[in-house]
């Protein structure tokens, strides 16, 4: 069993960090009104305003922010300002014991997938795959349901995903139960062959991505296949694959054809169309908790992520 962090209370302070790319400061500041509406206070990490090309400061600066927020008892949760690229660059330097001894809510997605996987493996910590402040919360398109999903941090709640949210498609039927892992497909594939390789054995695996054409999704899924990650899994929760249209549709397989090719004949439940990923609404979920995927009735039930 993974360690579930303590729930948030009104008045708690959360730490805001940028483990990957530099956030747009205007949008980040705009997102703070949402935190106020949740009754939360905040503190910025030291490198949140730093710009080092496509990184929010040096690797050491971003790493220090992560460590500082976990070590500070006044900080009750940690929200990522944006994704982009760069989380994996310092993953091998993280003090995972510090995190395990100071379990806290850790929230983000996309490039942050690498940290979710690493923390699950080496801190034994439940983390949260959810929309980020500067890139999602600050936008006018931020959906009411996306906002509502933050309530799972204040009260332990079982999450039920049904077609009331959006249509779902059965790729392969059946029912499977297991720990929910995964996230961004590109980041999962980039961990293969490292000590941060995702463990899919007996797990329900979430897959989502953005801006990857069908042939790119094909390449990433094939890498997971050859690493045994697809065969090991108990089932697949296929989230949103935004901006995946091929440049030349006449010379491309469709995204659906690619996903079906790799996942349909595994003899495991596979359901696609979940509004999880680079989409609105974005149904935020805890990773590292038990979940049940019913591929016949198109439902996903996820146990609470907080104590």
Which is the catalytic residue, given 61, 179, 208, 213? 208
Which of these, 220, 223, 211, 159, lies nearest to 185 by C-alpha position?
A: 220
d(CA 160, CA 17): 29
β 41-44/204-210 pair status? unpaired
Q: DSSP letter at 89?
A: G
φ and ψ at residue 169, rounded to 5 degrees? -125, 130
Question: Which residues, 6+ apart, have CB-to-CB distance to 100 below 8 Å?
Answer: 3, 122, 123, 124, 125
> Phi-psi category of 58—alpha, beta or left, where left has phi over 0 and alpha has psi -120 to 50?
beta
Decide: 295 and 175 in contact? Cβ < 8 Å: yes
DSSP states of 28-72: HHHHHHHHHHTT-EEEE-TTTT--BTTBSS-HHHHHHHHHHHHH-
Catalytic residue among 31, 61, 179, 278: 278
Residue 100 CB-density burial (10 A; 0-12 exposed, 13-18 middle, 19+ buried): middle
Please answer whether residues 279 and 242 qualify as being in contact, where contact means their C-beta atoms are separated by less than 8 angstroms: yes
The span from the CA of 15 to the CA of 33, in Å, is 15
The question of whether 282 is a catalytic residue gets the answer: no
Please give the distance of CA 208 from its chain centroid, rounded to a whole number. 9
Task: Tell me if residue 208 is catalytic.
Answer: yes
- Whether residue 176 contacts residue 290, with contact meaning beta carbons closer than 8 Å, is answered with no
278 is catalytic: yes
Catalytic residue among 47, 110, 146, 186: 110
3-class secondary-structure state, position 220: helix
Active site residues: 110, 208, 278
């Amino acid at each position: 069993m993974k360690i579930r962090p303590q729930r948030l209370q009104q008045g708690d302070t959360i730490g805001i960090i940028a483990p990957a790319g530099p956030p747009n400061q205007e949008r980040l500041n705009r997102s703070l009104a949402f935190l106020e509406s949740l009754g939360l206070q905040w503190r910025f990490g030291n490198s949140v305003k730093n710009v080092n090309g496509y990184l929010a400061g040096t690797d050491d600066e971003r790493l220090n922010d992560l460590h500082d927020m976990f070590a500070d008892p006044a900080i009750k949760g940690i929200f990522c300002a944006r994704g982009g690229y760069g989380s994996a660059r310092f993953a091998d330097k993280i003090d995972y014991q510090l995190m395990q001894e100071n379990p806290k809510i850790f929230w983000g997605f996309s490039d942050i997938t690498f940290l979710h996987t690493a923390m699950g493996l080496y801190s034994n910590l439940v983390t949260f795959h959810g929309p980020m402040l500067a890139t999602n919360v600050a936008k006018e398109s931020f959906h009411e349901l996306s906002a509502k999903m933050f309530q799972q941090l204040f009260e332990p709640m079982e999450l039920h995903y049904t077609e009331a949210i959006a249509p779902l498609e059965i790729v392969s039927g059946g029912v499977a139960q297991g720990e929910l892992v995964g996230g961004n497909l590109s980041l999962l594939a980039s961990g293969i062959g490292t000590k941060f390789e995702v463990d899919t054995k007996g797990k329900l695996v979430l897959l989502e991505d953005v801006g990857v054409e069908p042939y790119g999704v094909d390449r990433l899924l094939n890498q997971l296949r050859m690493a045994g990650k697809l065969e090991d899994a108990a089932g697949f929760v296929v989230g949103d694959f935004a901006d995946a249209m091929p440049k030349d549709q006449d010379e491309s397989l469709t995204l659906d054809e690619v996903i079906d090719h790799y996942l349909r004949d595994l003899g495991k439940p596979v359901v696609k169309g979940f509004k999880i990923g680079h989409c609105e609404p974005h149904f935020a979920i805890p990773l590292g908790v038990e979940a049940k995927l019913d591929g016949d009735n198109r439902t996903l039930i996820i146990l609470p992520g907080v104590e």
